[in-house]
Amino acid sequence: DGGITQSPKYLFRKEGQNVTLSCEQNLNHDAMYWYRQDPGQGLRLIYYSQIVNDFQKGDIAEGYSVSREKKESFPLTVTSAQKNPTAFYLCASSSTGSSNQPQHFGDGTRLSIL
Amino acid sequence: QKEVEQDPGPLSVPEGAIVSLNCTYSNSAFQYFMWYRQYSRKGPELLMYTYSSGNKEDGRFTAQVDKSSKYISLFIRDSQPSDSATYLCAMSLNDYKLSFGAGTTVTVRA
């Protein structure tokens, strides 16, 4: 079955710690995205990548970093500089980075502070 | 003012009723309009995807776009308890960037 796999499902971060969220897709999509979802707010874009070895900041990139070394993988690191990291993190992909290719989502990682 | 406004609900309806959801937006340049369904502790699932104005029907779901009023709607006919979820509207210009509503939580009572 083709899809987007996010792991882990739940993650806890200690103060001063960096944590990495995994996102893997087997849809052969070129574009991948990371969003953050907070209660009562729409999804907000953290980073996106249209192609391997290239990525751009979204609206709320501060305190986050990404890499795109392989087409199928787009890990997100939440650094200690992100002061309010508690949220539901969603990874998405689309065939290309244009708007006529809809984005499809994984089932998310819920990050909490210890 | 938010770019996309969506009534958070919650909305509770009896089984078999028509569910009506809507979003308003401020940017008249939006061209692509989407509705996603999100179950609790899951990722959003694409339900409907439309370009520009008009209606689109898929089974029990109908999406409407009125660009002159900057208003989009989703109707669910013959609602089922399995339709209980949060519904997110989203829209974009002509690139990758989606603007999302905050979501409306719907409960269909058996």
Asked whether the predicted pLDDT for residue A97 surpasses 80, the reply is no
CA B70 to the chain's CA centroid = 14
pLDDT of B94: 75
CA–CA–CA angle B84, B85, B90 (5° rounding): 140
What is the nearest CA distance from B79 to chain A, expressed in angstroms?
24
Residues of B in contact with A110 (CB under 8 A): 41
CA distances from A10 to A6, A15, A36, B45 (A): 10, 17, 14, 20
Rounded to an integer, what distance in angstroms lies between the CA atom of residue A3 and that of residue A23? 11
Note the pLDDT tens digit of each residue in A31-55.
999 999 998 888 999 999 999 999 9
Q: Does B42 touch chain A (CB under 8 A)?
A: yes
Contact (CB<8Å) A42/B100: yes
Question: Is the Cα dihedral B41, A107, B89, A52 positive or negative?
Answer: positive
- Tell me whether B97 touches chain A (CB under 8 Å): yes
Task: Check whether A99 has a pLDDT greater than 70.
Answer: no
- Return the amino acid letter for B30: F
CB B52 within 8 A of CB B64: no
Closest residue of chain A to B31, computed from CA coordinates: A99
Candidate from A31, A42, A107 with C-beta closest to B101: A42
Q: Which residues, given as ranges, of chain B have pLDDT below 50?
A: none
Quote the Cα angle for A3-A8-A11, to 5°. 145
Q: What is the pLDDT of residue A109?
A: 97
Instruction: Write down the pLDDT at residue B105.
Output: 95
Task: Retrieve residue A46's tokens.
Answer: 């953290």
- The DSSP 8-state label assigned to residue B31 in this structure reads -
* pLDDT for the residue numbered B54: 85
Chain A positions touching B47 (Cβ under 8 A) are none
- Dump the DSSP string for B55-87: EEEETTEEEEEETTTTEEEEEESS--GGG-EEE
How many Cα atoms within 13 Å fall on the side-chain side of residue B69?
A: 10
Put simply, whether B1 touches A (Cβ < 8 Å) is: no
Closest CB to B4 among A31, A40, A42: A42
pLDDT band at A1 (very low <50, low <70, confident <90, very high): low
Q: Mark which residues 14-53 of A lie under 8 Å from B by CB.
A: 31, 33, 40-45, 48, 50
Q: What is the pLDDT of residues A57-93, one digit of tens each?
A: 999 999 999 999 999 999 999 998 888 999 999 999 9
Give the side-chain half-sphere CA count within 13 A for B88.
25
Region A16-31: what's the mean pLDDT? 95
